[in-house]
Chains A and B, each alone.
Chain A
Amino acid sequence: AQRVTQPEKLLSVFKGAPVELKCNYSYSGSPELFWYVQYSRQRLQLLLRHISRESIKGFTADLNKGETSFHLKKPFAQEEDSAMYYCALRVDTGFQKLVFGTGTRLLVSP
């Protein structure tokens, strides 16, 4: 069965500190992983996807198939990074059927 696990409900750091939001997945097919972000009172927005191998707002994430992980990292957290972060796995049905993790709330304090 497909599953995405985000072990931390809350991650609290100080501004300027490194951040790592953990995501592990379970899927027998070829995984496609995403990170979505939801800022306060706003919609879910795509932050990045592993196939793009890009850095958005200083965040990066590398797919590690051996460890079945897709951790989200940023070297220096900013206050405006405070939000809810969801890791998601696209199930290979050809459509955007996403399996989400439970989310991690990142709180960056000044």
Chain B
Amino acid sequence: AQSVTQLDSHVSVSEGTPVLLRCNYSSSYSPSLFWYVQHPNKGLQLLLKYTSAATLVKGINGFEAEFKKSETSFHLTKPSAHMSDAAEYFCVVTEGDGGSQGNLIFGKGTKLSVKP
């Protein structure tokens, strides 16, 4: 069965410094992986996705993630944090091969705080 672990429940950075949000997954299939972002009192927005093409995936707002099969990781990074990046981030893996119901398995979330 698929699962996903976000290694930090809360990350705090200063504005202008790099962001690293860590995610490890387990999957019996070739996984599809996603990062979603949720700003306070808002719905979830897709940040980026990995679907077995390039291992380095670029998303919106300057975020990117690298799929490392040997480490079963899909960490999210950004070179320079902005105040507007303060939000909760969810790492997500598909259940099954994506050709069935394609249910998503969510990590428990990492809350990112950005200090001025």
Chains A and B come from one and the same complex: no
Interface of B toward A, CB cutoff 8 Å? none
A interface residue numbers (CB < 8 A to B): none
